[in-house]
Amino acid sequence: MREAQPVEQAVGMEYYVSEPDGVGGHLRESPADFRVEELEAFDPEPVDADPGSYPHVLLRATLRGWDTNDFASALSDKLEISRERVSWAGTKDKHAVTTQLFSVKSADPDAVADVALSDADVSVLGRTGRPILFGDLAGNAFEVVVRDPTSPDNAEPITADLRAFGGEDPDDQQATVAVPNYFGQQRFGSKRPVTHEVGLEIVRGNWEDAVLAYVGSPSEREPEETQAARAYAEETRDWQGTLDELPGWLRYERSMCHQLAENGGEEPEDFRDALERLPTNLQQLFVNAAQSYVFNRILSERLERGLPFDRPVAGDVVCFADRDAPEEFPLPDTDRLQRVDEGRVDTVARHCERGRAFVTAPLVGTETDLGDGEPGAIEREVLAEMGLEPAAFDLPEEFHSTGTRRAIMVRTALTVDRDPLTFSFQLPKGSYATVLMREFLKTDPEALG
């Protein structure tokens, strides 16, 4: 175990679990260097099925350099329909080649198949009775190329450490690797990781500080004019002046400042109103990022105390495998939870070893039950350090969260090829490829894309 990069520590990822130096290099020199293919969990009816019973057309799209939202908008424009009729299973990164599922409500399958968009290949799979929804996938398969590695031979000892972390024999060439199931840097903002800071202030009821964390908080990774505008906001609280200073492309910050300039920006309600001017998914993201930060901190504290990740200790809460998941790809079902007392540690450990159970930590919300024993003590201490408790997430409207739990470790079979240095692996939905790749590169997260 070694200390992580400072920008990673700022979002709760305080350690690497592998000791060797990284291979160096960088990712995403081109979209083809980062390939993602959804592991599908959605079975359609034939395309000639009754459109009255199955009104949604399911399609698979392979996209090169497309943001998922932008593709959905372009697809709806081509079909001359509302953007709201297009749905998808998972949001993917723009700087990649991605293969993913979409559904289109009340569309002509032939028209969908004939859609011509640059750097997009579309094939119709059939019809469904409901739209595909976010999370309607088992996971993702990745093929990631590292360009310009400085020490490619380090991949082998790093792999051995990651096998040992997952409880595998580090010398077994067929074994899987494992990493802490951290939320990756993208969750918080790669260049300016502040979404969790905004969320933490919202949960604490500090609406003005939440606005300042988003509109202010200049980062040296930003253009100088942007840094200056953010610094002006922090120093003056002059919202009209800040609106005049902010670049046009910072539309969310500008929207908040416009609202504050109209309302006066004097009362807590003014700042809450400004935050509620943002899209609902962004409002939710702030609180989700705060939960993710707490989760990362809990995992880092568990690492520091030397508690295992591949098996429980007394006081842990585990979840069991999803019965509907593919047999060869076990997934956690966080609706099936069980506390582990001293008498069941060994039994549950065997379930974890076989992929039938997973040790969890909380994504804290109003309905979150914390663990017992030392795991529970870690959870409570991290929350106390931040002045939080589960009841604090009883928030208005989109900011409210009941919470859940999440597996603390993720395993995958890993293949490493040379010339170019290429990593192939599969991860369950919600886990980050960059969390695995950071162990191998051990470089500034900006090199991970």
Give CATH 1.10.1510.30 domain extents, the chain: 195-278
Question: Does residue 409 contact residue 181 with C-beta atoms inside 8 Å?
Answer: yes
What is the pLDDT at residue 173? 60
Element (H, E) at 105: strand 97-105
pLDDT single digits (tens) 192-238: 899 999 999 999 999 999 999 999 999 988 999 999 999 999 999 99
The residue annotated as part of the active site, out of 33, 50, 70, 93, is 93
Closest by alpha carbon to 25, among 148, 157, 185, 176?
148
Alpha carbons 154 and 146: distance in angstroms, whole number? 13
The highest-level CATH class for domain 195-278 is mainly alpha
**93 among known catalytic residues:** yes
Matching residue, tokens 């019809």: 127
- Cβ neighbors of 336 (< 8 A, separation 6 or more) are 319, 320
Each residue's pLDDT, cut to its tens digit, for the chain (449 residues) gives 899 999 999 999 999 999 999 999 999 999 999 999 999 888 899 999 999 999 999 999 999 999 898 999 999 999 999 999 999 988 888 889 999 999 999 999 999 999 999 999 999 999 999 999 888 888 999 999 999 999 999 999 999 999 999 988 766 666 789 999 999 998 998 778 999 999 999 999 999 999 999 999 999 889 999 999 999 999 999 999 999 999 999 999 999 999 999 988 888 899 999 999 998 888 999 999 999 999 999 999 999 999 999 999 999 999 999 988 777 788 899 999 999 999 999 999 999 998 899 999 999 999 999 999 999 999 999 999 999 999 999 998 889 999 999 999 999 999 999 999 999 999 999 999 999 999 999 998 887 87
Give CATH 3.30.70.3160 domain extents, the chain: 42-135
Instruction: Provide CATH code, domain 42-135.
Output: 3.30.70.3160
Fold classified for 282-407: Pseudouridine synthase (3.30.2350)
